[in-house]
Chains A and B, each alone.
Chain A
Amino acid sequence: MGFKDSINANDLSYSIAHELRMPLLKIARLSELQQSSRQPSLEAIEVIADSVLKLLDSYLIRTRYTNEQIQLELEPVSLSAVMYDVAQYLDRLSRAQNCEIRLKVQKNSGLVLAHHQGIKMAFLSLCYAFLHSTDHTKKAIISLEAHRTQNKVVAGVLCNDLHIEKSAFNKGQQLYGRAYQSIKDIPTNGAGYFIAADLFETMTVPLQFIHSTRRFGVMGTFHSSSQLNLL
């Protein structure tokens, strides 16, 4: 069973609603704190609100593509540029969450066949989910990585401070929103993972769970070719 088959739209909306409560709660409490302490927390409010907007954006795009069954037109996309944009965008949020975002893109990863906006949103959603899944037992390093293997490029997000496996992900899909203890290893409601999985699948890039030297992550395999890199 593919990810797409098992994600129910209502469950995802429910999960998104759950996911949004925490950032909105923080905005409310930061505003309250600012009134009482006169400390400049406006920047923190802005960072949180921005991240919520991006999650909602990803959800809207995912829903539009899924509901209207729009086939994402694949085009040559520079993974390094997309990943750089994502890392830049999440820089302030990651600092607020005591995480570090790193880029590890092989120089020869070149261009891949993907949908520019779709892949950007998918990586953003994944990073967003990772940022909220770390348990802060140590400083989390979230790494956006891409490397080439013959005619393919493997790219995704890895983290040193969470353990996510396909079984946990599948369990999350069954449970999210209903269990009062969030599933082990996905402390959030996992909306970011599910959105990313959908977007990747729309680009016919299935997500895979990776375990590599004490790091866990989610990666996809993209088509690439030397002809494409001539563009």
Chain B
Amino acid sequence: MRVLLLESDHSFAKIVSEALAQDGHSIVWCSGADTALTELDRKNVDAILVEIQLAKHNGIEFLYEIRSYPDLAKIPVILLTMIAEIDLQIDDSTKQQLGIYRYLYKPTTSLRKLAAVIKQIA
């Protein structure tokens, strides 16, 4: 699978990329929403991993943006974020609207668990 990883932290992105590469996935890493949109324009991806806390545009703004494009609207999205679910303030209908397949809280998500969730999508 080709996975777009939207993550502002360089070394954490590297860790996730290495882990997913071990499972045979190819990772397209972007540190900001703008570059992620450009990459989505250029490459087909099978899933998107998104951190909400980003500089400039946040992850939710990014999701609203991509959902407005019909060709990107159906790509499953996994939130992989430092924000606890209680602080997220996104109801189920919004999650559905934004195509959020799973919410994963970074501090409690092992690489094994992340790989398993990606595998479910495949």
Query: For the complex, what is the distance from the CA of A26 to the CA of B12, rounded to whole Å?
Result: 6
Give the contact stretch, choosing among A3-11, A29-37, A61-69, A113-121: A29-37
Query: For the complex, what is the distance from the CA of A180 to the CA of B60, rounded to whole Å?
Result: 11
What secondary structure prevails in chain B residues at the interface with A? helix
A185 at the interface (CB under 8 A from B): yes
**Which residues of chain B have C-beta atoms less than 8 A from A37's C-beta?**
18, 22
Name the contact of A137 in the complex, choosing from B9, B18, B31, B89 (C-beta under 8 A).
Answer: B31
Number of A-B residue pairs with CB-CB distance less than 8 Å in the complex they form? 80
Name the contact of A135 in the complex, choosing from B8, B11, B58, B111 (C-beta under 8 A).
Answer: B8
CB-CB under 8 A for A36 and B19, given A135-B55, A182-B53:
yes
Query: For the complex, what is the distance from the CA of A181 to the CA of B31, rounded to whole Å?
Result: 15
Query: For the complex, what is the distance from the CA of A29 to the CA of B19, rounded to whole Å?
Result: 9
**Which residues of chain B have C-beta atoms less than 8 A from A18's C-beta?**
82
In the complex, the answer to whether B111 meets A29 with C-beta atoms within 8 Å is yes
In the complex, the answer to whether B10 meets A33 with C-beta atoms within 8 Å is no
B87 at the interface (CB under 8 A from A): yes
In the complex, the answer to whether B52 meets A135 with C-beta atoms within 8 Å is no
A71 at the interface (CB under 8 A from B): no
Q: A96-B10, A98-B10, A135-B56 are in contact. List 5 more A-B contacts (CB 8 A).
A: A37-B22, A39-B18, A181-B53, A181-B58, A187-B53
Chain B residues in the interface with A (C-beta under 8 A)? 8-12, 15-16, 18-19, 22, 31-32, 34-35, 52-56, 58, 60, 82-83, 87-89, 106-107, 110-112
Q: List 22 A-B contacts (CB under 8 A).
A: A21-B107, A25-B106, A26-B9, A29-B12, A29-B15, A29-B19, A33-B19, A37-B22, A39-B18, A44-B11, A48-B11, A96-B10, A97-B10, A135-B32, A136-B31, A137-B31, A137-B32, A162-B55, A180-B53, A181-B53, A182-B55, A184-B56
